Amino acid sequence: CWGSRISLVAPIPPSSPQHNLVPHMAAAHDLQTSCLMWLRCWLHDAQMRWARRSYLCAPWASAKLVLHNPYMASPRVLAHPFQVIALLKNCEVGKLDLFCAACPAAVMQDALPQLLRHVERQQLVSVLVPLLNNVALHAPLVSMLRRVDVLRLAEILNGTLPGKLDILLRCPGERVVDITCAVKHDRVSTMLALVNHA
């Protein structure tokens, strides 16, 4: 007995009922693992869909936005209800809050009503909203709001194809803003033609 070890657990005979349970236990374990993986994927997808919810689908987010940025509910802004609804319907929850936090309140208070008044609703949704939903473009967009005349910016938003302004704002530094400010009023349409064919 010194050279061998005695097993304290007796092997399960192949003909016993316990031996037949082994494959079923393995199958049950595989099923449980599959269910857990499916549940994890579903929760991740639900989290992503929740993050992409619009402000109209999340009243608490809209209330928070107005609470921290009172100018969002000013008479000058609410004078354009359809534009405001289009903006809140297409902006992802949290992204507009981040942009408002990055942009000085005085700039937004002056620029937002004019943009809502002069930018076409379709252009507001297809050109401006993607910029607001992209946090990486907030800084150059804020720079444009601060330095470019609002009416010129509205003309640019109305004349730019979807996705083109996104490419320009990715340029390093403030070159795009410098060029936009330097272009004469009668040359804005020429500049937009070049941008749309870039």
Helix then strand count (H, E) for the chain reads: 13, 0
pLDDT at 158: 95
The model's confidence at residue 11, banded by pLDDT at 50, 70 and 90, is low
pLDDT at 77: 96
Q: What percent of the chain has pLDDT over 90?
A: 49
Mean pLDDT calculated for residue range 12-34? 60
Structure tokens at 108: 């937004």
* Structural contact between residues 134 and 91, judged by C-beta atoms closer than 8 angstroms: no
| pTM of the predicted model as reported, rounded to 2 decimal places | 0.71
Query: pLDDT tens, 129-140?
Result: 999 999 999 999
Query: pLDDT tens, 96-128?
Result: 999 999 999 999 999 999 999 999 999 999 999
* Structural contact between residues 116 and 77, judged by C-beta atoms closer than 8 angstroms: yes
pLDDT at 88 over 70: yes
**What whole-number distance in Å separates Cα of residue 30 and Cα of residue 167?**
48
